[in-house]
Amino acid sequence: MKMIRIFFAIIFCILVWSCGEDDTVVQILEPSFTITPSTEDSSVYFFENTTPGKENFYSYWQIGLDGPKVADATNGPIEFKFDSDGFRRVILTVVSANGNAATIQDISVILPAPDDTRFLFNPENLLSNGYFVQGTDDDFDNWSKFNGEDRITQELTGALVGFRTTRITNPEGGEQFETQFVSDAAPTTNGEMYTVSLWVKGNDSSVIRFSTNPGGPGDQYGPNYTVTPDWSQYSWTFTANSATTLIALDMGATAGTFVIDAAELVAGEQALPLPSNDSEILNGGLEEGSGDDFTNWSKNNGADGLLEETVEVLGGKRGLKVVNPASASGVQYETQFVSDGFDTVSGDSYTVSFWIKGADAPSVRVSTNPGAGGEQYGPDYVGSDDWTQYSYTFTANSATTTIAMDMGATAGTFYIDDIKVVKD
């Protein structure tokens, strides 16, 4: 539970009234309080002590039977923010010299729904905002309109990835570069091969082309591709000739209207498939769950160091933060994060992939079926300052398999996200 505005250690106080012959001991009346939900955030509630004569008593709040005790040290409402859904019991206790009394109210907390900016993406993509989601109106972050600016507009329906994409409307045909949409520079290695791809849909047999570094030395040009009525992916492989590369989408050759989405640039000669959560394991993106709990995952060892992370994430809103103490013994399984079981075919091959980021050179190993017999162990992978993907291929030896992320070998803090298992 998170508490806004009030967070301090509670020291139990014994209040003593020195009663002389004419002194009167203040009697506790029945405690009472009000609960008011926030009108702006369904995870926030305001609790106010309304006990008559409350200023004569020591009072404290408790959220849940096992929750911390928080002194009622204000004259107005106290604000509480919950970080998970569910039933909550709120207890107010009032204490005086001659005893104490408590009152209870129950509430049902429902957290706000996640916003609509969440979407899946391929982390390997070297193009910033390759899914055209960031930006406002007809502007797209990380992309420039070199030519045909008024022809390149946002499209809010039917996107393949995210909630918006890009519409191209050419009133007439001409040169390819007369409608030209250009990415920010992406890092490339001179002499290495890269593949750029784009998904396109239209009804006008429009023509598009990829090119690199428009207007600069060493620009390169791909072939012409003809748009079809259904979403289709087009790709072109080239050899980089500079340390950074601009990708230009040249789309002015023909009149017509079409939409584009999922522009991606990756090392190698193979275009990526559409971003997908397709995986044999559930909740590999670690989005589901609350607080430090992750749905479909268990903490077999080192639970205190397996935490929710909402800043250093690869995709979505949540990932896993691993905090190993300085006393880490070098035994991998002492910090162990284990998936629910998933169906496998004995004798078939499966590949586990995951992403690591951490400045402390974390060591991570994948194993199968911990404690169940027939375990298999992958190599130790060492993470770095940047998000890096690793994979381990194993042959299933049981009808169901669990995947363990063994991460206790090294001290320090690092992050894990986007764990997938696919059948080869």
The string of pLDDT tens digits covering residues 33-68 is 999 999 888 888 999 999 988 888 889 999 877 777
Least confident of 17-31, 161-175, 219-233, 369-383: 17-31
Rounded to whole angstroms, how far apart are CA atoms 275 and 121? 5
Average pLDDT estimate for 368-380: 92
- Give the C-alpha distances (Å, rounded to integers) separating 209 from 6, 17, 253: 59, 87, 9
Q: What is the rounded average pLDDT for all residues in the chain?
A: 87
**Given this model, what pLDDT does residue 118 score?**
58
Give the pTM: 0.54
Q: Residue 319 CB: number of other CB atoms within 10 A?
A: 25
pLDDT at 241: 96
> H or E element: which one contains 260?
strand 256-267
| pLDDT over threshold 90, residue 263 | yes
Give the list of residues 6+ apart from residue 187 with CB closer than 8 angstroms, or none: 126, 243, 244
Angle at the Cα of 251 from the Cα atoms of 245 and 255, rounded to 5 degrees:
175
Residue 119's identity, in one-letter code, is F
**pLDDT tens, 130-158?**
999 999 999 999 999 999 999 999 998 88
Residue 334 has phi, psi (to 5 degrees) of -70, -15
Asked whether 402 and 369 are in contact (CB, 8 A), the reply is yes
> What are the chain's domains?
2-109 (2.60.40.10), 143-267 (2.60.120.260), 297-423 (2.60.120.260)
- What is the spatial order of strands in the sheet that 319-324 belongs to? 306-309, 319-324, 412-423, 349-357, 388-395
